[in-house]
Amino acid sequence: MFDALTDRLSGVFDGLTGKGSLSEKDVSSALREIRVALLEADVALDVVKQFIADIKPKAVGEDVIRSVKPGQQVIKIVNDGLVEMLGGNEEAQGLRIDNIPAVIMMAGLQGSGKTTTTGKLARRLKNHDRKKVLMASLDVYRPAAMHQLKVLGEQIEVDTLPITDGQMPVDIAKRAVNAAKLGGYDVVILDTAGRTTLDEQMMGEAAQVAEFANPAETILVADALTGQDAVETARRFNDRLKLTGLILTRMDGDGRGGAALSMRAVTGLPIKFLGTGEKSDGLEVFDARRIAGRILGQGDVVSLVERAAAELDEEKTKRMAEKMAKGVFDLEDMAEQFRQLQRMGGLGGIMGMMPGAKKAKAAMDSQGLDDKVIKRQEAIILSMTPKERAKPALLNASRKKRVAAGAGVHVSEVNKVLKMHKQMAGMMKKMGKGGMKQMAKAMGA
Ligand code: GDP
């Protein structure tokens, strides 16, 4: 999996980590090479462009963590970008199987590995989740497909719906759901008919089944080896069927990984599992962090930088607390707060973690404070000289004008930042005296 890409990237990283310091030119040329490597891996052009655009400012502008080499830091940034591209840090997506019986509908082109994957999922649900599973083939056009599922069921010891000739797919689906209710099954997996190409009748039929069965999961099975075709197939199925997730098969034979890398970004759908072999145990839960780690093959470097960054944050927090205790909070501190905020996933991320967050978020919204605004405010502070940041009172009209021009904003924006700094400094002073309790109170906890 991803072998070719891993090789290419490791070449790029070797060039970076050898150096004690990195110029902007070094970083730019590394990013160019990464771009080419991704394109050669058949990742969709738009996805590659977005990826580079996202990581570039971080790679050039990141705070330097003194205890790691700059090249190592760039690797970490590329790693984080990849994780994001693959679906972010959300928990590896299992299947939603809350209703009883929960219906899982499998869709996909013929030959994509749909039936094999149906068996793999059934086996996993039985062994791993201890569910009672029923499988049913809706492929009325290919009796061999129905038989294939039956044989598979016998192998993995999962029941299949008895085959009745001459029924329409939606009628088989009804029979399957009824049988599941009567038989006390937790999950019914419907293996819909596939064609060799996308056609309207197949889509219409699948949509009809979906309408009746109201599946908890509608999963597209796509062949990773077909690269961008798989991505296009997913996009078109999704237009018609409201997919809830993807499973990519034949990852065991895919050295490039273009489909796996583009799927999420293009379709917005989570990749739930990867098919990694013909046998019924060849199924792997998709985990963005693990996959990114595998692609980069730089796990040690990534965790080293993570540890160093955490230490740095801790150190900064400590220094900030000391300053606060003394009642000092300058513009540099405010910029640092903004940066920390962004590192922690922006306002949205922070708010999600805090008790009483809804109220505070509403208050921030009412002040028009969102992540974009915060970035702009940070830019304004960065346009000031260190002296001005330490002593905001220095900022007279002409200095404010210079700062505004530097940040590309109106002077009124600079005034807003200064006003906000005053408010924050006041709050910090109080907190320095009254401790965290007051802050919690302010947050409405
Ligand atoms: P369907 O027409 O979509 O139902 O496809 P099948 O399930 O019949 O699979 C077609 C072929 O692909 C079979 O030979 C499977 O063994 C094979 N296959 C399915 N998934 C995988 C996989 O993850 N890895 C490999 N190597 N082969 C797979």
CA-191 nearest atom, ligand 1: 4
DSSP H/E element including 247: strand 245-249
Closest CA relative to residue 227, chosen from 253, 203, 197: 253
pLDDT in the model for residue 318: 77
CA of 270 to the centre of ligand 1 (A): 21
442 DSSP β-pair partners: none
Ramachandran region, residue 281 (left: φ > 0; alpha: ψ -120 to 50; beta: rest): alpha
CA distances from 394 to 178, 309, 380, 386, 436 (A): 77, 33, 15, 11, 31
Residues with CB under 6 A from ligand 1: 108, 110-116, 194, 249-250, 252-253, 275-278, 282
Using CA positions, which residue lies closest to atom 28 of ligand 1?
A: 278
ipTM: 0.98
Start-to-end C-alpha separation, the chain: 48
CA distances from 104 to 118, 249, 370, 414 (A): 9, 17, 39, 55
Q: Count CA atoms within 13 Å of residue 84 on its CB side.
A: 15
Residue keyed to tokens 């965790």: 303
Quick check: 413 and 381 in contact, CB under 8 A? no
Domains of the chain: 3-90 (1.20.120.140), 102-286 (3.40.50.300), 327-442 (1.10.260.30)
Query: Which stretches of the chain score pLDDT less than 50?
Result: 350, 353-357, 436-437, 439-440, 442-445
Distance, C-alpha 346 to centroid of its chain:
15
217-223/159-160 β-pairing: unpaired
CA-282 nearest atom, ligand 1: 23
Distance, C-alpha 108 to centroid of its chain:
23
Helix (H, G, I), strand (E, B) or coil at 442: helix
Quick check: 275 and 250 in contact, CB under 8 A? yes
pLDDT in the model for residue 65: 65
CA of 208 to the centre of ligand 1 (A): 26
CA-276 nearest atom, ligand 1: 23
Quick check: 115 and 149 in contact, CB under 8 A? yes
Distance of alpha carbon 30 from alpha carbon 36, whole angstroms: 10
Pocket test for ligand 1, best of 249, 271, 273, 276 (most atoms within 8 A of CB): 249
The helix-helix angle for 371-382 and 397-407 (nearest 10°) equals 120
Distance of alpha carbon 247 from alpha carbon 220, whole angstroms: 6
pTM for the full predicted model: 0.73
Pocket test for ligand 1, best of 109, 116, 156 (most atoms within 8 A of CB): 116
Tokens of 30: 């590394």
Using CA positions, which residue lies closest to atom 19 of ligand 1?
A: 113
Residue keyed to tokens 């034949």: 250
pLDDT in the model for residue 443: 44
φ, ψ dihedrals at 283, nearest 5°:
-140, 130
pLDDT in the model for residue 444: 43
pLDDT in the model for residue 440: 45
φ, ψ dihedrals at 274, nearest 5°:
-120, 135
Q: Which residues participate in the annotated binding site for GTP?
A: 108-115, 191-195, 249-252
Closest CA relative to residue 382, chosen from 408, 364, 416: 408
Q: Which residues participate in the annotated binding site?
A: 108-115, 191-195, 249-252
Distance, C-alpha 301 to centroid of its chain:
21
Is the CA virtual torsion 206, 208, 213, 214 positive or negative? positive
pLDDT in the model for residue 89: 65
Quick check: 148 and 154 in contact, CB under 8 A? no
pLDDT in the model for residue 363: 58
For the chain, the residue count is 445
